[in-house]
Chains A and B, each alone.
Chain A
Amino acid sequence: MSDAVKNTGLFMIVGALILLTGVLQSWNAALLILNMGLISAIMALGVNLQWGFAGLFNIGVMGFVALGGLAAVLIGMPVTPGAWRAGGIGVIGALLLGAATIAAAVMVMKRMRKGPLRALVVIVVLVGGFFVFRALLDPNVAAIEAINPAGTGYLGGLNPGDQDTYKDYGIILLLAWPAGGVLAAGAAWLIGKTALGLRSDYLAIATLGIAEIIIAVLKNEDWLSRGVKNVIGIPRPVPYEIDLQNDPAFVERAAGVGLDPTMASTLYVKLLYAALFLVVLLVLLWMAQKALASPWGRMLRAIRDNEFAAEAMGKDVKRRHLQVFVLGSAVCGIAGAMMTTLDGQLVPSAYQPLRFTFLIWVMVIIGGSGNNFGAVLGGFLIWFLWVQVEPMGRLLMDLVTSGMADGYWLKTHLLESAAHMRLLTMGIVLLLVLRFSPRGLIPEK
């Protein structure tokens, strides 16, 4: 089995790269790469489900990841005292009304005969509904946002603790991960239902647009996610470094292995995260592999390779596509919730399509579309590069500019620009792999 040897070798190379980071830079940096690598691998797994198995082009990964992050807030943060009474119920009511408006418009579309009258009624329902919706929503939103805007000003989440004790219930964040998946799946179902329904789908543009809209909502709807004020201090399912450092037993054990308490606590926390993430990755990878080998997975690939034949055999292509789109997006949502947990904060403006959509695509393509192990490998490898290209670029620039006089404009410019090397590198790596190994590092079998 030379394939198995080669693939193991590839994983070992990436492992060695991370270990090298530990030896040369710091173990904290190495573990950080490992943790984000695990999360990236999960995202890549999700995209691979869609693109690799079914040929669905999802370029809204960012949106699903952000929804996962929102789930971490909605599950992990404590409820803001008085917010529900002040306007929470009203907001929910307004949202329900908004949904009812759309449902009514759809009903009119279906029930009435085609013609100018129908168009008019639909427009009246939608426009009227919109104004009522806004009239109901705005005052309630204002009421929620008025509650201690500097600290909360939003509804909060489901954490059973109060503002002072909520961090004791960090374990609840483990629930946020599947919740992130559910939230993303719900959004994906709505998108898929509309975008995959027509003769030729238009999933690409739909996902691109929805992702931007989700980010806009997170940035603007302060009552939900505090908007650009960010949610910080999200509790975590692992102990806090400071608590460990104050724990004599931990300090003693750290001293036992020859580490100072600060170092030991940071490493310990990151290792705990790594263990948790690894479990999630392995479970999802196992499920993805099982799915690939199951009749369901075989049918998906049959549809992908010859849709007409599959359709002629009576396979419901749209249904399968919808299923796999929802599942893949859910996986991205889970990864998003995990990432927000790791960060301990939700920063809507940090969500950039290049980083959260297109980079994940690079991971999948380079790892090998249609191969789950490939996607995982791509996740680790590309994340490693994404982090390490910057210092490498700086080294390169130092080298290039070493002959130039200090203060020479080109030297200053080159040194400053080294940070932008990572985008360039990602593009070059993608194009090189597409050109010389178009099926990726671990090709589909």
Chain B
Amino acid sequence: MSGDPYGDRGNKDATIVNPRGTGTAQPVKGGSAKAAPNGPFLIGETMTGGYGNGPDILHDCTISVEKGEIAVIVGPNGAGKSTAMKAIFGMLDLRAGHVRLDGEDITALSPQARVAKGMGFVPQTSNIFTSMTVEENLEMGAFIRTDDFSGTMEQIFDLFPILREKRRQPAGELSGGQRQQVAVGRALMTQPKLLMLDEPTAGVSPIVMDELFERIIDVARTGIPVLMVEQNARQALEIADKGYVMVQGANAYTGTGKELLADEDVRKSFLGG
């Protein structure tokens, strides 16, 4: 843009600039966590913010998860569901609001520091290192760990047996469902206290989707709370302990999965009757 002194003026010259893999996140620079006892296990509280100098996408949005729960965020396209996830993860500088995890205020922490605090995040797209092998992807997931993580890797191979078979293959060569398994596996390698999934079933076939949901329930059963954004609202709410319906960057309806499924308004507007 002409207004942006750091823009590219529409230059697409691949011999001087690398279009691949460039980051879009505007991560929190990093500060320290403050003690903030009580409250839910994870909460993004009255979050307001957007990308860069752009307009706010989130308006006073609140999302929380308790231990042992599956929480699901649903809503129409462009409602800011993924943005809310990114904000919780520190990939986006908040203008107002707080993020608290396990009794600490982590709003000022950089994404790396949040990983160290026990958050695991699987983004919706480009969620694997395509040029690296499955095994290397998992290793990168365990990047912050200094202990021996071979045990965790075995657990993940037990959870997703196909990955054991393809461990030496570049992840970019796998099928869509397998890629999602790698992505979830990568996030689990840190042994997170909390798993966040951004539309894990986007673009996979219904059979694979069912299987993925099974796995996610498996993960939740091991005691890891799961926060998930889903496009397939009905299925997702069916397995959800808590549901959030977001509209235009703000909370519209909140309740248990069953309540939301039963709610007349929610059904009419978002679940197609």
Contacts and interface: CB of A to CB of B under 8 A. Distances in A.
A and B touch in the complex (CB under 8 A): yes
A438 B16 contact: no
Interface in B126-149: none
B12 A201 contact: yes
Interface in B1-22: 1-2, 5-6, 8-16, 19
A201 B2 contact: no
A342 interface: no
A303 interface: yes
Given A370-B2, A439-B5, A444-B2, A305 B19 contact: no
Interface residues of B, number: 14
Contacts of A370: 2, 9
Contact of A202 (B1, B10, B15, B19): B15
Nearest to B8: A55
B2 A57 contact: no
A395 interface: no
A307 B10 contact: yes
Given A305-B1, A370-B2, A56 B11 contact: yes
Contacts of A57: 11, 13, 16
Nearest to A444: B2
A54 B11 CA distance: 8
A301 interface: yes
Contacts of A200: 12-14, 19
B14 A201 contact: yes
A205 B2 contact: no
A56 B14 CA distance: 12
Contacts of B11: 55-57
Contacts of A439: 5
A370 B12 CA distance: 17
Contacts of B8: 55
B9 A51 contact: yes
A369 interface: yes
A47 interface: no
A362 to B, nearest CB: 16
Interface string B15-40: 11001000000000000000000000
A301 B1 CA distance: 9
Contact of B12 (A205, A306, A307, A444): A307
A201 B16 CA distance: 10
B9 A304 contact: yes
Given A370-B2, A439-B5, A204 B10 contact: no
A440 to B, nearest CB: 9
A140 B203 CA distance: 67
B6 A438 contact: yes
A194 B11 CA distance: 17
Interface centre among B9, B11, B16 (most CB of A within 10 A): B9
A444 B11 CA distance: 17
Interface string A35-56: 0000000000000000110111
Contacts of A202: 13-15
Contacts of A303: 10
A203 interface: yes
Contact of A201 (B1, B5, B6, B13): B13
Interface in A304-330: 304-307
Nearest to B1: A305
A438 B5 contact: yes
Contacts of B10: 54-55, 303-307
B8 to A, nearest CB: 7
A314 B16 CA distance: 28
Contacts of B14: 200-202
Contacts of A56: 11
Nearest to A52: B9
A52 B2 CA distance: 9
B2 A301 contact: yes
B16 to A, nearest CB: 4
B15 A205 contact: yes
A372 to B, nearest CB: 14
A204 B2 contact: no
A369 B9 contact: yes
A301 B7 CA distance: 13
B54 to A, nearest CB: 15
Interface string A183-206: 000000000000000001111111
Interface centre among B8, B14, B19 (most CB of A within 10 A): B14
23 contacts: A52-B9, A54-B9, A55-B11, A57-B13, A200-B14, A201-B12, A201-B13, A202-B14, A202-B15, A203-B13, A203-B15, A204-B13, A204-B16, A205-B15, A205-B16, A206-B15, A303-B10, A305-B2, A307-B10, A307-B12, A369-B9, A438-B5, A444-B2
Interface of A: 51-52, 54-57, 200-206, 301, 303-307, 369-370, 438-439, 444
Given A203-B15, A305-B10, A307-B12, 8 more contacts: A52-B9, A55-B8, A55-B11, A202-B14, A304-B2, A305-B2, A306-B10, A307-B10
Q: Give the 9 A-B residue pairs with the shortest CB-CB distance, closest first.
A: A55-B9, A438-B5, A304-B10, A55-B10, A200-B14, A205-B15, A55-B11, A202-B15, A204-B16
Interface of B: 1-2, 5-6, 8-16, 19
